[in-house]
Structure 1
């Protein structure tokens, strides 16, 4: 499903006023012997289980990690301004994801949105819990799991390891209603974030519809029926923060999974960590400034009769730096029935209920296999 690549000044002071209290959040940085800026984490903003000791790292290791992150990347790249249908089909069949350039979103908006989200993450964990958990606001806060209920709350599940992630879940349908978002909090930060999301959401809807319609043409699907297979009204954004962890090999930022969406569109910082499973091995997806990563979800795989693939992916944590990202998800319309020669007819609500039941009882998602038509039938 991130930093914007720009370093703040030596110290950044952000003052937030909430219910007549003054919260001061200070992000400070120092330099290692190579002159590389190193941001000191605001541990109070982390969930308690994440508040582990962050030891100083060896500068030599830091340089090595950075260089490894920028090796040659085989992920296919597509230009939205002149979308090549043949290349799109190849990427969807063989990868289940691709990099998108010339998408028309201003880089200033992409970086601004990540920066505003980072300011929200900088609130203390207790403040985030108080404002965005079990409240009637549309925005919800979660941590430790990417699995959420339809309302955006973290899904109770069978015991398993914690995902090293926290995030905000933001449905886009009522962004114009200030009272629905952030419980009507009168704060410039909340308002600016809401307005940025509103503009960003319009770009995401445009991009998702353009890509999906191209896929429909490639697959020779009924354009009338397929129109309801992707509904912009279902669009939501999740912003994620992956705390750095000195023992990065012992934790995953996000566990191995496929998305349940039709399409997911990722805007990430330059830290890296997204990996996809292809040809029986994990491949690092290169973070390239200004580009987006589009991956196909389970709904797209079913719509395409398994011609296109829902990509299996995960997120690795970084031992030196936090990772931040913004991901847009879009789904079939309410009540839209997905019909496929390989699956029993089902709606996204049917699929979502089955997935949530499996996560609660088994601890993991089974997904499309639950709806597969038996070859013996």
Structure 2
């Protein structure tokens, strides 16, 4: 796992050449508050609608317990992901040449064609990963044993995560008293994707800079032993500690828009560690192609329109603007 040949060349820089990505205009304390576990806990087996509503309004993120995903499956995914990342950089590139899986590094942002946007060493995120569109998993088999094993595990995992996303979204829609024709269309199975991430060891820089997700919901299976995820709460950064057999759910931009800003899209970032790598596996789900997001705060838009605007802004400005582009009575 520590073999430099397994990393993309741009991530093989010595620590003293790494770039500090801290924004000089960011006045917030860069050192997160340490707390036993400040993150709200939601029990999926006995779902408390009031607690869920409070977590969505105040945090945009919560820890999910009794989620029904076998712990053996979570552990197998983590172990296989580590094996996959330990392959040589060239092997990982070649393995994804003729498959729907995209291999990326330096940024998780993808162009509409599925090509990773590659950044230079001055502004990279210290991360590499695979982007896996779940609706295409059953349509291919891979000659690389680790990728084929990953494909089979993810097919099982996707079934569980789709169930969780649907259950949570239906509860949120009920709390918000939304009149939606089909709640499942807002967390469509065919839009689900998984990104697996590896964050290398480095002394300076961020694994992922401050951002919000574009999804309705993002569901994270993070490394049981290595922390790194931080969430912004009341202008302070809190570390989301790794706790075995729990999942972290955060709301994305689509959920904030659907709720007319009653619920929040969680701002978060990933800190890298000096001496240990971190692995995480995140499931993202989006509205179906024909779903128009209608809100009292935003002009009507589809997720495809939102995604296209995000990619346009990343290319032109170097960063995501997001929901501000769709606000009512704005000129940007």
TM-score by length of 2: 0.90
After TM superposition, list the pairs within 5 Å mapping 1:119-268 onto structure 2. 119-132=83-96, 135-155=97-117, 161-179=123-141, 184-185=142-143, 187-245=144-202, 247=203, 250-268=204-222
The answer on whether the counterparts of 1:160 and 1:363 sit within 8 Å (CA) in structure 2 is no
Indicate the residue corresponding to 1:290 in structure 2.
245
**Aligned partners of 1:90 and 1:71: how far apart in 2?**
20
Equivalent pairs, count: 315
1:151 is displaced (CA, Å) by 4.0
**Aligned partners of 1:51 and 1:102: how far apart in 2?**
40
**Aligned partners of 2:93 and 2:256: how far apart in 1?**
36
After TM superposition, list the pairs within 5 Å mapping 1:46-57 onto structure 2. 46-53=7-14
1:70-127 per-residue CA deviation (whole Å, 9 max, x = no partner) reads 7412110010000100000000000000000000111110010111111111111122
**Aligned partners of 2:171 and 2:239: how far apart in 1?**
27
After TM superposition, list the pairs within 5 Å mapping 1:21-36 onto structure 2. none
The answer on whether the counterparts of 1:158 and 1:363 sit within 8 Å (CA) in structure 2 is no
1:241 is displaced (CA, Å) by 0.2
After TM superposition, list the pairs within 5 Å mapping 1:342-353 onto structure 2. 342-353=297-308
Q: Which has the larger radius of gyration?
A: 1
Indicate the residue corresponding to 2:28 in structure 1.
none
Q: More displaced, 145-154 or 80-89?
A: 145-154
3-state SS of the aligned residue for 1:194?
helix
The answer on whether the counterparts of 2:227 and 2:242 sit within 8 Å (CA) in structure 1 is yes
Give unpaired runs (5+ residues) of structure 2.
17-31
**Aligned partners of 1:333 and 1:82: how far apart in 2?**
28
Q: Residues 299 and 192 (structure 1 numbering): CA distance in 2 closer, same or farther, change over 3 Å? A: same
**Aligned partners of 2:10 and 2:120: how far apart in 1?**
18
1:242 is displaced (CA, Å) by 0.2
Indicate the residue corresponding to 2:282 in structure 1.
327
Query: Quick check: 1:354 aligned with 2:318?
Result: no
The answer on whether the counterparts of 1:158 and 1:362 sit within 8 Å (CA) in structure 2 is no
Give unpaired runs (5+ residues) of structure 1.
1-26, 28-40, 56-67
TM-score by length of 1: 0.80
**Aligned partners of 1:375 and 1:192: how far apart in 2?**
48
**Aligned partners of 1:86 and 1:235: how far apart in 2?**
27
**Aligned partners of 1:292 and 1:76: how far apart in 2?**
12
> Which residue of the other structure, out of 224, 233, 251, is the alignment partner of 1:278?
233
Q: Residues 159 and 118 (structure 1 numbering): CA distance in 2 closer, same or farther, change over 3 Å? A: closer
1:288 is displaced (CA, Å) by 0.6
- Divergent runs of 4+, >6 A: none
Q: Residues 375 and 125 (structure 1 numbering): CA distance in 2 closer, same or farther, change over 3 Å? A: closer
